[in-house]
Amino acid sequence: MRGKGFAVKLLFFFLVIGIVMVFFSVSTDEGASKEVVLKSEKIEELFPAKENKNVEETSKYVEIVLSAVGDCTLGSDEKYSKYGSFDEELKKQNYDYSYFFREVKPVFEKSDLVIANLEGPLTTSTERADKEFAFKGDPSYAKILKEGKIDAVNLANNHSFDYGKRGFYDTVKALKEEGIGFFGYGYSYITEVKGVKIGVLGYTGYDDTAATKQMIKKDIEKMRQSVDILVMSFHWGEENKYYPNKVQMNLGRFSIDEGADVVIGHHPHVLQGIEIYKGKYIAYSLGNFVFGGNKNPKDKDSMIFQQIFVLDENKKIVEIKLRIIPVSISSEKDRNDYKPKILAGEERDRVLRKIQNLSYLNPLSLQ
């Protein structure tokens, strides 16, 4: 009888071991399928690069990778309930500032310059502007940008003065303290990477009057003298509109006519198409990114817009390549957890197709 009891125990023991092994093999498989593969074959199928002259093979050429993302609101509206808010999420994460950009940081680390639109001040001011939506975050939130490997942010937008002039200058101070660059509203940003000088100008692009164009023309002319790559950032267009309006198109093309190398837009909170104009790219809207302004936006599609500039020994751009990395602004489907994730599989293909369909102006096949 004892023998039989022992045999039953032994059988039970192996059964338990077996279940544990099956469980682990399943979870390992799951982990593997979740791994994000940043292959770009498909992207290049969609957006074939220009005929390559084997430029990478010779060392006299240098490649600069620019990554740009859309609206980042680090904080929220005081009028919102705390539940599910940006600030609550940070608290939940024990004030781990690296939480928000964690999933996309590997892409940024491999970039030479990373820019975003900072949609809202970082301030302790309590003087909320009298408007429907007014955002703010604590000045310490500049650390989120630092942790996320963001190099510089656009300040020219409709939320920078949500807490007045003080809110704006608190933001500038907070960014400076963390070594984050900024541009727009009188500021421009110039940096040097791999011996290449890159400059960024930021504007709100709500009108295309002669005065606006004159200002842009003058700024480009001046900056062009000291940089090799000139990037334009525009806060423009209409909210929740998937197609650019005439002002966006006019200002975007005008900027390139005057000497910009790429035009990057934001504000509509959704993606808009990309146009190739005179061999250069205009990305009309990058959508949201780390966006504390909405606890659950219906459309969570976004992208990391990359421009790969190839320059020759005279620092002249000889080739510009486009790479799109489709993103969801939230890792969770039914709410915003403020942690953008890189899409894979069908979702990735869907967002790529969407961008391609939105790029109706000049279908991306001009090569």
- State CA 94 to chain mean position distance: 24
Q: How far is the CB of 235 from Zn ion (least distance, A)?
A: 6
Question: Which residue number, 267 or 321, has a Cβ lying nearer to Zn ion?
Answer: 267
Cβ 260 to Zn ion, closest distance in Å? 21
> Which of 78, 84, 162 minimizes the C-alpha distance to 118?
162
DSSP code at position 286:
B
Cα gap 307→155, rounded to integer Å: 21
Residue 211: count other Cβ atoms within 10 Å of its Cβ: 9
Nearest approach in angstroms of CB 120 to Zn ion is: 9
CA distance 154 to 131: 21
Nearer residue to Zn ion within complex by CB, 230 or 270: 270
Which single residue brings its beta carbon nearest to Zn ion? 267
Q: Taken in order 101, 84, 179, 223, is the CA torsion positive or negative?
A: positive
**Exposure string (b/e) for 272-281, b if CB count within 10 Å is 16 or more?**
bbbbbbeebb
- Minimum Å gap between C-beta 167 and Zn ion is 15
Tokens 């544990």 map to which residue?
A: 20
| Closer CB to Zn ion, 267 or 341, in the complex | 267
Q: How far is the CB of 171 from Zn ion (least distance, A)?
A: 15
Q: Are 221 and 250 in contact (CB under 8 A)?
A: no
Beta bridge partners of 190: 199
- Considering the complex, state which of residue 267 and residue 300 has its C-beta at the smaller distance from Zn ion: 267
Min CB(138)–Zn ion separation in Å: 21
- 161: which residues sit within 8 A by CB, 6+ positions away? 121, 129, 167, 168
Label the pairing between strands 229-236 and 262-266: parallel
Whether the CB-CB separation of 341 and 256 falls below 8 Å is answered with no
Residues that bind Zn ion (CB under 5 A): 157-158, 267
User: 158 vs 331, which CB is nearer to Zn ion?
Assistant: 158
* Coil/strand/helix, residue 152: strand
Task: Quote the least distance from Cβ 134 to Zn ion, whole Å.
Answer: 12
Q: Please identify, using beta-carbon distances, which residue of 159 and 280 lies nearer to Zn ion.
A: 159
Minimum Å distance from CB 59 to Zn ion? 43
